[in-house]
Amino acid sequence: MRAVRLHKPYDLRMHDEPVPQPPAGWVLIQVKSVGVCASDVHWYRDGRIGNTAMTDPIILGHEASGMISALGEGVEGLKVGDRVAIEPAKPCMECEFCRAGHFNVCPGIPFFGTPPTDGCLRDYITWPAALAIKIPDSVSYDDAAMVEPLAVGVYAAELARISPGDTIAILGSGAIGLSVLQAAKIAGAGRIIVSEPIPARRELAVKLGAAQAVEPSELADAVAGATNGRGVDIAFECSGSDEAVRDCCEIARVLGKVMILGIPDGDTYPFVASPSRRKQLSATFVRRSNLTTEKSIERVAAGKVDVKSYASHHFPLGQTREAMDLAATKGDGLIRAVIVVSE
């Protein structure tokens, strides 16, 4: 089978590798669509995320969908030919955090495309059957791949405990920010203001329910005007930029909340001390998603959210480098680059 491995920053190579065989309780999945996430870009560009660095060639990609091709011994509830979304994290189910239901913070959790666990930019993967979630025929493979960022947005909205009528700012409107936006609307948020430098992303944010979508330089004035100077109840940082973290501290109201989703280029977040302390802000760091994948699939199938618009650019597996380069530059009105591994 084909597999694209990252050997070092910017060095992607196509390999011919054996098709894996599923052990008991696992399934073999023919990979269909894979979204290129900002974390993939960090690995591609830097060979590391924070204090975790790659040491061996790795296959990237965790936003994925596919079709069941074979069943390991004892698998029930799935059959060959089933179409699935793929939960990319495999919690141990034994540690104190898993036992408490906090599966996303399981220490050392294997996660597709994060060393040492190979990801989905290959023709076939094996994975536990419980983490291959059936999708209805109405949900496309692209949509199923976009369930992963949607689940992150849904989880972030749940962690924030949005109250009906809350005023919200979302800084960054890629797939994660747009997912927060749609989840916040369902949760009953009032006015939602989006900050985003890319015009196509601002336009999509308004289409999906934002009251305003402005340039980052216009955000402070937009928030002041919309809240009579009070500030937003919750600010979601979804861009990974230092400026966005600082802006969240400035625009949140007294006793407001700051939700941090973005991955920074370095390994620090630059909070502004004075407004953060004087307003007694609460900051929550969002670690992927937790127990929101099935809910996200249901919302897509019911037409309650739009993830189809995320998949703005498509590439075959042989053009993974071009997809990564575009995702790194965010050029051409990119929302999400999707790599079509197989039709």
Whether 301 maps to a domain, the answer reads no
Q: What is the pLDDT of residues 162-181, one digit of tens each?
A: 999 999 999 999 999 999 99
- pTM for the full predicted model: 0.96
Whether 119 maps to a domain, the answer reads yes
Whether 245 maps to a domain, the answer reads yes
Please give the structure tokens belonging to residue 205.
């944010």
Which pLDDT score, from 0 to 100, does residue 343 have? 87
Q: Which domain holds residue 324?
A: 2-146+307-340
Share of the chain above pLDDT 90, in %: 97
Q: How many CB atoms lie within 10 A of CB 67?
A: 17
- The domain that holds 187 is classified in CATH as 3.40.50.720
Looking at the structure, tell me whether residues 258 and 333 fall in a common domain. Answer: no
Looking at the structure, tell me whether residues 40 and 162 fall in a common domain. Answer: no
Q: What is the pLDDT of residues 127-159, one digit of tens each?
A: 999 999 999 999 999 999 999 999 999 999 999
Q: What is the pLDDT of residues 262-277, one digit of tens each?
A: 999 888 999 999 999 9
Q: Which pLDDT band, with edges at 50, 70 and 90, does 83 fall under? A: very high
Write the CB contacts of 290 (distance below 8 Å, at least 6 apart in sequence).
Answer: 101, 102, 103, 104, 155
Looking at the structure, tell me whether residues 211 and 269 fall in a common domain. Answer: yes
Which pLDDT score, from 0 to 100, does residue 265 have? 87
Whether 291 maps to a domain, the answer reads no
Total domain count, the chain: 2
Looking at the structure, tell me whether residues 80 and 213 fall in a common domain. Answer: no
Mean pLDDT of 183-190: 98
- The domain that holds 53 is classified in CATH as 3.90.180.10
Whether 292 maps to a domain, the answer reads no
Which pLDDT score, from 0 to 100, does residue 266 have? 87
Looking at the structure, tell me whether residues 182 and 104 fall in a common domain. Answer: no
Whether 266 maps to a domain, the answer reads yes
Looking at the structure, tell me whether residues 32 and 161 fall in a common domain. Answer: no
Looking at the structure, tell me whether residues 73 and 195 fall in a common domain. Answer: no
Looking at the structure, tell me whether residues 7 and 131 fall in a common domain. Answer: yes
